[in-house]
Each structure stands twice: as structure tokens, then as C-alpha cells.
Structure 1
Amino acid sequence: MNGSGGHSTAPEQARLDVAEVSRRFGGNLALDRVSLTLAAGEILAVLGDSGCGKSTLLRLIAGLDTPDGGTIRIDGRVVAGRGAFVPPEARGIGLMFQDYALFPHLTVLANVRFGLNRLPNAEAESVAMERLREVGLADRTASYPADLSGGEAQRVALARALAPRPRVLLLDEPFSNLDSGTRERVRADTLAVLRQTGMSAILVTHDAAEAVEIADRIALMRAGRLVQSGTAEALYRAPASPFAARALGDIIEIPGQAVGGRIETPLGPLAAPPSLAAGAVRVCLRPEAIRLLPEGEGVPGRVLRRAFAGSLARLDLAVAGLDAPLRLTVPQAHDTTERVGLAVASELAHVFAGTDDGH
């Protein structure tokens, strides 16, 4: 995949290939020519805010909806588009939703067996038991969903989705209904199971930390479009826009003016990329790009507020030319007086032409 939304992996090499897929609901273009690929054994996170189109994309891949344009292939076979439509049950897709959708009147074992009705009873039970062992719930076969904790219900749903050994597993915000402590544990358990089974999976989430922890690659979506994709490190170190920069961690945005091969900013001059045209720019800085210096060095700043944060301290600094205080986090042991100096590492600055958000 590339940042413009193109797909670079040939369909025959990909477990899943989504090419130029669009979906419109009335006057709303929910998906705008989205392209992505998923390799065998890969975990891809589709990251974005509510309403960006990520769940619509999942429904199209699953066969729960049909695209208005583009094609979807699974193992090289067209399952949607070009006049073809393969129903959900014939696509080899596993689904896991945030509400888990367990059948309350069935036991845990019966829930996991539900998608195995084409197998003989003994074989279906054997497969279901194996999946429950994989998720650590072999001792809860006779329990009912009402008897399970949120984390246990999530693991039963995972076992049921994995039971038929799907070609691709789709997970739609699967951890969002769990409290924070349970969420981290279940997330780690789920990742372990996916790795152990070699499952190809797509995780839809609005949580950047979740995407970073689980996925091999991240596809970042906004307003129905794929705006950038790549590893978490690539997106963090080389965001394609201010929006992409904000999506993968804390960012400090300051105005700048490109002129004569350099960028003038309230935090001092920065080296300008060779291709950057003269004019207004937006500079996005990770917190580690800004260094705190003794008073009298660098650009002067005045400490407005210092807040305790465990081993760290949060500083609000007034800097000439900035409309709002500059917020930095420094080690608690850092000796800060009322006035300090500031410097920016040019190589860690992300510079974008113009002043709008960009895609």
C-alpha cells in the first residue's frame, strides 16, 4: 500500500485485495476509491474517527453490503465488483463485532460450534474444543453467555469467529466495550491467538494505541478516504499531513513562513525541504523535537505553569509569536526556572505547505 491509497501488491500475492472501492448512501460518499491489500498472516488496523467509513469498508469485505464501484478479491477470486457478488457465507470471512453477538440460549460450546454445522457432530465438537483451548476457555464449555465476564465473552466470540478457519478475520472495534484494565489483557490475549494461528486479520478501531500494539500495518482513514498507510513507525516518523501526524501521537503545531531556503517560526529558523515553495506553512513537531535550554540560550520562553505527573512534569510556556501556551513534558528532575530557552531539531520537524489540515 502507499500513502495515496494505491495498492502495490498484485492480487494473486494478496490474501485480500480491495481496489478503488466506493460506496455511496444517497448524497453521502461513505467510501471514496479506497484501495488496500492484506497479506497472508498479516494484521492490518484500519484507524479513523467515527463516521470515516471504516465499518462500511468492513461490511463490503464481509459481503454484508455491495460496493458502487471497484473490486474486492480474496485469494485472487473476485467476490464483489465486475458483475460478481459472492455471498458472505461463501467468502471464507470470519466476523467479530463489538457486541460479540453471542446466542444467550446456547452454551459456550454450542456458540462456538454454531458455524460448523457442515461438519459431522463429533468433528464439530472437536474443532470447537480446540478453538476454546486456544483462547483459554476449555473449562467454560457448559456456561452460558450471561455467566461470562466481558473479557470471557470476547474470547468466546473470537473462538467462534476462528472456528471455521476463515481466510480473513474481520474485527470491528472488538475491545471497545471492555474496561481499560480488561481491555489491555484481552487485547494481548487476542493478539497472541492471532499470531499463533497465523490468521490474516483486519482490525477496525478508533484507538491509535490499539492499532500500534496489534497491527503490522495501519491504514489511516478520514472522511471516506485512505489518507496514508504503512507501519506505525513509518506513519509516526513521516506523516503525510497534519491530520496523519496527530493520529499517531502527540503533536505540537506552530505556524511558519518559508522564505529563502529556510522556515521562520516562533521557535527559531528551520531548514526548509528543497521542494518547499515560499509562503505560509504548518510545522508539526513531536515533543521530542523540542529541547529545553538554560535561560539565555535559544528562543526565550516563560514558564506559566508546572504540573506534577509522576516521574514527569508538564510545563505550559509562553513564547512570543504563539497564540497559545506551548505544552511540554519533561523529566521531573529537570531543573526549570521561571524563564528557559527553547530549540527545535530541524530533522524532526514535519513541514506542510499552506495552513489547512490536508488529507
Structure 2
Amino acid sequence: MAVEAVSRRYGRAVALNGISLTLDAGEILAVLGDSGCGKSTLLRLIAGLDEPDAGEIRIDGHPVAGRGRSVPPEARGVGLMFQDYALFPHLTVLANVRFGLRRLDRAEGRRVALERLAEVGLADKAECYPGTLSGGEAQRVALARALAPRPRVLLLDEPFSNLDAGTRDRVRADTVLVLRQAGASAILVTHDAAEAVEVADRIALMRRGRLLQCGTAETLYRSPESPAAARALGAIVEISGHAVGGGIETPLGSLPRPSRIGEGAVRVCLRPEAIRIGPVGEGRPSRVLRRTFAGSNLRLELAVEGLDRSLLVTLPADAEPTDIVGISLVADRTLVFGDRARADDA
């Protein structure tokens, strides 16, 4: 599947601005971003529930939307799994799964529906009604129904958000297993970075209707193209710096200047592994304002000369820092962005 330069406006509001993405056969792609960034609009356009103002969408190489063409939703070979599952309460579980198989005769439809229920471990619930199911069971029925016609692309819109934490982890793992076994090509919309990392082969980062970056979780974590992309996959500390000559000066110490960074003001983004805490005399002296026990970690709030606000860092829970510590940077773990990244991040 391919989305090429797709845009969508609602009045003056720009929901999508020139989005381009691809989805390979058997791939799970996560679309990650905050509420209102355009994730669900993108799914609606792919599903055929809305039409783009510009650009084109192709499935298996065939245009289905854009440039004067619009294939009806039922003819696109797209399955859609909604956040609230949208099961029919007056139909049995089996009838819900058979709903998308109406082109098959009754016996064949029943056989295929039972197969899909068996794949999600719910064959014994075939004659039950949705009202008798747990949240996790209802989610799996919705997945079986979406997969029943073997769609070319399966779209999942925040499918685990209504589940409690324990159930969510289990059902998510079961869902991924079913998708992998079925060889399904799927797009998962989520605002949960940990979920995107766990589930997806690649992650598309969206912000304000634009695509920030798309790649594997490792690529996005280690080589983000902007501060916004860096923030998307984990907590960071942001400090200002100044690049001159071969180095970058920051309140936490000096760094070598990457060749791609011009001289002048820069933004330095630090993940936890980029900050080293040691004894006084190693790095810049910093005063510990507060210690917070957080299970496997110890969180420190530090006052650092040259920073206009306190710095939050994480240490192993068994660490025993003194009231004054030394703080330094691990050069090869820092992320440095120039002025253009500042503008793109606005």
C-alpha cells in the first residue's frame, strides 16, 4: 500500500499536509502521535470513509483514492477495527464475525467465521452475545471479524486504549501473534510510544498533520531528525548550546561539533544514557534538590549552574549520591540539532 502526498482540510483546519507512507506485505506500521495530529484522519482516508483533497492512495498498486478516483470502502479490501470494537449487541459472536462474510453461503461463512474465532482463542464463545464478554474477549472478537474476509490492509484505531493495563498487555501480545500468523499487513494508530515500539516493524511519527519521520524504533531512537521526533520515543532533557569551531559549549560541558551542524545556537537533547552522574570533581558540580524513589530507579532533581531550571535525571535504585554530584555528558549519546530543527519544531 502507498500513500503519496496526501492532504486533507476541513475548512481552514489542515488535518493532513502532504503525507507519504508505504506499507509492505505482512508489515505492521504504527502511526504515533498526540490527539489531533491527523492519525485517525489518515485511517479514514485509507478506508474510504473520507476523501483526500490532494495526493493519491494505492492498494496493491491500484489507485483507490485521489486524482479523480474513489473506490467504495467495501471494494478496497480494507479491514477496519474501531476503538470501541463496534460489535452488534443483538448478534451472537459467531454472527458478528460472519457479518463481513455475507458474500459466502451460510455454511461456508460459518466455517470461516469459526476458523477466525479459533485463531483468536474464542471458538467456545461462538454462541455468546457481546454483552457477556470481557473487554479483552470483545477486542479479540472484533479482530476476528476484521480479519475474516482476509483484507489486503487491516487498520486498527487505538484498539487497546479501552482495556486496563494488565489486560491490555496480554491482548496486545495476542493480537500481534494473530496478525503475524495471518501474514496481515496492518496500520496501528496509537498515542503510546511503548506500544508502537513493541508492536510495529516501523513507526511513522506524526505532528500537526505532518509526517516527522518514519523508520524502525531503533533508528528513531538513535537518529531522530528533529527534537519533536526525539521526544516521541522517550523522555529527553533539552538544553541550549553554542557551536563554534570544532566544539559545542553547553552548561553541562563541551561536546564535539558534528559536521552537519553549522556554527551558532543549537539545541542539545539528552536521553538518560547521555548524562553521567559521578562524584564531585567529575564534570560540572550540581546540587541535589530532591530524591524520589521510583521502583527500579532513583530520580534526582539537580540544580546546575548555567541552567535556568532544575534538571531531572534517573539513576539505578541502589545508587547513593551525595548532596553534591558531578554531571557530565556522554558525547556519542547526545543529540544535537541546529536552528532549522528549531523552526521545524515550532
TM range, smaller chain: over 0.9
1:278 aligns with: 263
Deviation (angstroms), 1:102: 0.4
Q: Counterparts in 2 of 1:1-359, with a 5 A limit?
A: 16-354=1-339, 356=342, 358-359=344-345
Greater mean deviation of Cα atoms: 263-272 or 332-341: 332-341
TM-score by length of 1: 0.94
CA–CA distance in 2 between the matches of 1:338 and 1:286? Answer: 23
Deviation (angstroms), 1:82: 2.2
Deviation (angstroms), 1:274: 1.6
Deviation (angstroms), 1:323: 1.5
Where 1:56 maps in the other structure, the secondary structure is: helix
How many residue pairs match? The answer is 344
CA–CA distance in 2 between the matches of 1:141 and 1:275? Answer: 60
CA–CA distance in 1 between the matches of 2:161 and 2:320? Answer: 40
Deviation (angstroms), 1:181: 1.1
Where 2:342 maps in the other structure, the secondary structure is: coil
CA–CA distance in 2 between the matches of 1:268 and 1:134? Answer: 56
> What does the per-residue CA deviation read over 1:165-194, in whole Å, with 9 as the maximum and x for residues that have no partner?
000000001011111111111101100100
Where 1:143 maps in the other structure, the secondary structure is: coil
TM-score by length of 2: 0.98
CA–CA distance in 1 between the matches of 2:160 and 2:296? Answer: 30
Where 2:17 maps in the other structure, the secondary structure is: strand
CA–CA distance in 2 between the matches of 1:328 and 1:320? Answer: 16
CA–CA distance in 1 between the matches of 2:329 and 2:104? Answer: 64
Unaligned runs of 5+ in 2: none
CA–CA distance in 2 between the matches of 1:244 and 1:213? Answer: 18
Deviation (angstroms), 1:296: 1.4
Q: Which runs of 4+ in 1 moved over 2 A?
A: 354-359
Greater mean deviation of Cα atoms: 349-358 or 250-259: 349-358
Question: What letter corresponds to residue 255 of structure 1 in structure 2?
Answer: S
> What does the per-residue CA deviation read over 1:42-92, in whole Å, with 9 as the maximum and x for residues that have no partner?
000001111111101100000111111111100010001122111000000
How many percent of aligned residue pairs carry the same amino acid?
Answer: 71
Deviation (angstroms), 1:133: 0.4
Question: What letter corresponds to residue 87 of structure 2 in structure 1?
Answer: L
Whether the aligned pair in 2 keeps the contact of 1:243 and 1:357 (CA below 8 Å) is: no
Deviation (angstroms), 1:208: 0.6
Question: What letter corresponds to residue 194 of structure 1 in structure 2?
Answer: L
Deviation (angstroms), 1:93: 0.4
CA–CA distance in 2 between the matches of 1:181 and 1:33? Answer: 38
Deviation (angstroms), 1:246: 0.6
> What does the per-residue CA deviation read over 1:324-356, in whole Å, with 9 as the maximum and x for residues that have no partner?
211111112223111111110111111111383
CA–CA distance in 1 between the matches of 2:108 and 2:282? Answer: 74
Aligned-pair Cα RMSD in Å: 1.0
Unaligned runs of 5+ in 1: 1-15
Question: What letter corresponds to residue 137 of structure 1 in structure 2?
Answer: L
